[in-house]
C-alpha cells in the first residue's frame, strides 16, 4: 500500500491495482481489491487519488480451495514416481522397491539391502547431516524423519533424493525398531533451485560490476571485481576475461587484465603465445581454442577440447583442459572481448551459456561505454591540442601562452615568486625563406621548437606567437637561472646544423627578456619591455640575449609597435 501511494506521488504510475487483506474482525479476514487512479495538474503534481474497492473474500476462498485441490491432485499424480523403503534398525536391513532402485539406475535385485551399503552411496558432503539425523531419530520421542541428500547413481553421478520416514514399530524402550518411508527424486528441482540461486548471484554480480564501472570508469577494475564470483557461479576451476585490442597493423589481440593465478603465467614466453605485462597479459596468437571465439565471433563449448578443430593444446605447465567454454563479449555484433572458463566438474552445457548470457551482454555494454569514453577523451584532448597548440611546431600558440602567463602573473603578484618573460626572434628569417624556400623555413622553425623543448623545464612554457617570433615563460625562476636557460637556447641553436635535403642551414636567434617587478600590472606590459630588449639585441648585432633595464626606456620609446619591432629590425 505504501509503495503504491509512493508511486502515485512520484508520478510513476497514474493507474494501479492492488489486493490486500484487512485486519480480522468479527466477520473474519477480509480480502479487498483496490483500483487507484491518480490525477495530476499540468506541472505533474499529484492532486488526488481516486480509489474503487471490491470485496474479494469469497473469490480468495474459492482460489484457496482450488489450490488445495490442485495440490492433492498433484500429489496423486506424483505418487507413480515415488519409491518406498523399509528399514530395520536392529538387523540393519534396508528393503527398497523397484521404483527407488530405478532412481539410482539399478534393478531391484542389484541393490544390496542393508543400511551400510546405502550409506556408502551417500555423497561425502551429505553424510554428516544424514548420520546426525539418523542418530536423533533413534530417540524414543522421534516419530518422523525427513531428509534431503545426494546419492550416487549407477553411472557415477549423484542424484538428489527427498526421503520421508515414519516409525511403524518400536522396541520395549520405545525406540524406533522399524521405519518405513518414501523416496522422491528431486534432482530437477534442486537443479532449478541451484539455477535460481546462481541467477540471483549473477544479478548481484552484474550490479556490482556496473556500480564499480560507474564509480571509477575503469572496466579493468569491474572485470577484477566480478571474476572470482564468476568462477564460483559457473563452478569453473580457472578462466580469464579478455578485452580485444589492435596492434599497429590492425591485427586483433587479447589484453587480459583478469586471469586465474596459474603457474604457467610466471614462466617464460614461448612461441609468441602470450606476453606478460606489469598490468596484464597479452595473448597475440589467436589461432587456438580461445582465439576462435574472437576471430569467428561465436561461442565455443566443448567437453572434449582435444577433439575441437581449433585446439592447439595448452602452454607448457598449464593444467590439463578437460572442458572449455568461451563466450564472445559483443556490442552491436562486434566482438569487444571474451570470457573463458575451464574444467567445470560436470562439464558445460547450453544451460550454462543461457545463465551467463546476461553477463556477457552487460560486459559488452561496459566495454562499449569504455570505448566511447576513451573516444570522447581523445576527441577532447585533440580539440584542446588544436585550440592551444601551434599547428607547425606543436608548441603552445599565442592564445594559450597569454592564458598561462596571466595565470602565472596572478600567482607571482600574490606570493612574490620570480617570473621571467622572453621574446625570441629568428635572425634574418626572411632571408632564409627567400633563399632556401618556405619548406626550409618550416624546417628551421621546427628545429628551433625542438631546441626550446630540450633546453627548458617541463614547468616552463615555450610558445610560437608569430611567424618567426617565439615567447618563453619561466616561472619560479631567479633571474640568474633564467638568463642561463635563455643563453643555453641561443647557444644550442647557434651550434645546431639544420639539414634540409642536401643543404645544411645554420640559424641564430635574438632574445629579449624581462624580470617581473611590482610595476608590471599585466602580461602586455611585460611583453612590451621584453620587446624593447629584443629590439636592443637586434640593434647590437643579433644572436644575443638582452635583459630589459631602465636604460632601454629611450630605445623602447623609439621602437615600432610592440611585438612587431623584431620583424622590422630583421
For position 327, what pLDDT does the model report?
A: 93
CATH code of the domain occupying 82-185: 3.30.450.20
The domain 192-370 is placed in CATH, from the list 3.40.50.1390, 3.30.450.40, 3.40.225.10, 3.40.50.1820, at: 3.30.450.40
Q: 136-170 burial by CB neighbour count: b if 16+ within 10 A, else e? A: ebeeeeeeebebebbbeeeeeebbbbbbebebeee
β-pairing, 176-185 with 158-170? Answer: antiparallel
User: Tens of pLDDT along 471-526?
Assistant: 999 999 999 999 999 999 999 999 999 998 888 999 999 999 999 998 888 999 99
High-pLDDT (> 90) share of the chain, %: 32
Instruction: pLDDT band for 315, please (50, 70, 90 cuts).
Output: low
Rounded Cα–Cα distance for residues 277 and 264 (Å): 14
Answer yes or no: is pLDDT of 269 > 60. no
pTM of the model: 0.49
CATH code of the domain occupying 2-70: 3.30.450.20
In the chain, domain spans: 2-70, 82-185, 192-370, 398-569
Identical topology for domains 82-185 and 192-370: yes
CATH code of the domain occupying 398-569: 3.30.70.270
- Identify the DSSP state of 483: H
Q: Is 257 helix (H, G, I), strand (E, B) or coil?
A: strand
Mean pLDDT of 107-115: 87
Q: How far apart, in Å, are the Cα atoms of 237 and each of 139, 323, 327, 384?
A: 43, 10, 16, 48
Quote helix, strand, coil % in the chain, to nearest 5: 45, 30, 30
Instruction: pLDDT band for 317, please (50, 70, 90 cuts).
Output: low
Q: Which of 57-61, 183-187, 308-312, 327-331 has the highest mean pLDDT?
A: 327-331
Answer yes or no: is pLDDT of 264 > 50. no
User: Tens of pLDDT along 522-546?
Assistant: 999 999 999 999 999 999 899 999 9
User: Tens of pLDDT along 120-133?
Assistant: 999 998 988 888 88
Amino acid at each position: 500500500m505504501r509503495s503504491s501511494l509512493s508511486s502515485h506521488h512520484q508520478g510513476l504510475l497514474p493507474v494501479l491495482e492492488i489486493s490486500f487483506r484487512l485486519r480480522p474482525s468479527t466477520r473474519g479476514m477480509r480480502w479487498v481489491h483496490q483500483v487507484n487512479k491518480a490525477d495530476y495538474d499540468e506541472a505533474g503534481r499529484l492532486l488526488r487519488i481516486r480509489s474503487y474497492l471490491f470485496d474479494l473474500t469469497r473469490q480468495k476462498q474459492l482460489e484457496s480451495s482450488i489450490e488445495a485441490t490442485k495440490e492433492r491432485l498433484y500429489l496423486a499424480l506424483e505418487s507413480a514416481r515415488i519409491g518406498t523403503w523399509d528399514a530395520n534398525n536392529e538387523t540393519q536391513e534396508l528393503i527398497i522397491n523397484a521404483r527407488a532402485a530405478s532412481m539410482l539406475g539399478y534393478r531391484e535385485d542389484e541393490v544390496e539391502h542393508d543400511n551400510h551399503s546405502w550409506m556408502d552411496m551417500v555423497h561425502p558432503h551429505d553424510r554428516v547431516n544424514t548420520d546426525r539425523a539418523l542418530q536423533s531419530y533413534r530417540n524414543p520421542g522421534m516419530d518422523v524423519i525427513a531428509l534431503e541428500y545426494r546419492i550416487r547413481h549407477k553411472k557415477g553421478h549423484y542424484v538428489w533424493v527427498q526421503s520421508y520416514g515414519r516409525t511403524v514399530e518400536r522396541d520395549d524402550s520405545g525406540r524406533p525398531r522399524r521405519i518405513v518411508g518414501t523416496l522422491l527424486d528431486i534432482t530437477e528441482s534442486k537443479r532449478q533451485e541451484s539455477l535460481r540461486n546462481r541467477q540471483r548471484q549473477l544479478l548481484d554480480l552484474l550490479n556490482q560490476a556496473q556500480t564499480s564501472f560507474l564509480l571509477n570508469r575503469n572496466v579493468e577494475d569491474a572485470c577484477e571485481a566480478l571474476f572470482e564470483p564468476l568462477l564460483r557461479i559457473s563452478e569453473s576451476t580457472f578462466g580469464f576475461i579478455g578485452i580485444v585490442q589492435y596492434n599497429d597493423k590492425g591485427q586483433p589481440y587479447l589484453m587480459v587484465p583478469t586471469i586465474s593465478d596459474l603457474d604457467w603465467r610466471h614462466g617464460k614466453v614461448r612461441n609468441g603465445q602470450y606476453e606478460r605485462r606489469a598490468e596484464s597479459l597479452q595473448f597475440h596468437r589467436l589461432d587456438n581454442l580461445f582465439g576462435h571465439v574472437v576471430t569467428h565471433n561465436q561461442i565455443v563449448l566443448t567437453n572434449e577440447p582435444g577433439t575441437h578443430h581449433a585446439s592447439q593444446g595448452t602452454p607448457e605447465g598449464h593444467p590439463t583442459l578437460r572442458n572449455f567454454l568461451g563466450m564472445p563479449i559483443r556490442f552491436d555484433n562486434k566482438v569487444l572481448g571474451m570470457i573463458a572458463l575451464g574444467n567445470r566438474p560436470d562439464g558445460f552445457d547450453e544451460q550454462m551459456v543461457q545463465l551467463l548470457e546476461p553477463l556477457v551482454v552487460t560486459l559488452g555494454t561496459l566495454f562499449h561505454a569504455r570505448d566511447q569514453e576513451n573516444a570522447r577523451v581523445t576527441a577532447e584532448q585533440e580539440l584542446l591540442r588544436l585550440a592551444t597548440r601551434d599547428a607547425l611546431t606543436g608548441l603552445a600558440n599565442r592564445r594559450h601562452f597569454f592564458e598561462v602567463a596571466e595565470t602565472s602573473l596572478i600567482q607571482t603578484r600574490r606570493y612574490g615568486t620570480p617570473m621571467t618573460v622572453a621574446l625570441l626572434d629568428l635572425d634574418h628569417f626572411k632571408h632564409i625563406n627567400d633563399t632556401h624556400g618556405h619548406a626550409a623555413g618550416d624546417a628551421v622553425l621546427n628545429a628551433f621548437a625542438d631546441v626550446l623543448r630540450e633546453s627548458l623545464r617541463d614547468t616552463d612554457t615555450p610558445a610560437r606567437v608569430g611567424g618567426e617570433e617565439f615567447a618563453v615563460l619561466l616561472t619560479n625562476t631567479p633571474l640568474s637561472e633564467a638568463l642561463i636557460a635563455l643563453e643555453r637556447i641561443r647557444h644550442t641553436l647557434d651550434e645546431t646544423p639544420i639539414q634540409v635535403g642536401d643543404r645544411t642551414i645554420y640559424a641564430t636567434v635574438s632574445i629579449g627578456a624581462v624580470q617581473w617587478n611590482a610595476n608590471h600590472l599585466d602580461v602586455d606590459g611585460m611583453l612590451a619591455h621584453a620587446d624593447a630588449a629584443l629590439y636592443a639585441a637586434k640593434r647590437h648585432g643579433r644572436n644575443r640575449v638582452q635583459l630589459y633595464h631602465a636604460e632601454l626606456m629611450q630605445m623602447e620609446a623609439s621602437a615600432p609597435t610592440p611585438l612587431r619591432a623584431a620583424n622590422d629590425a630583421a
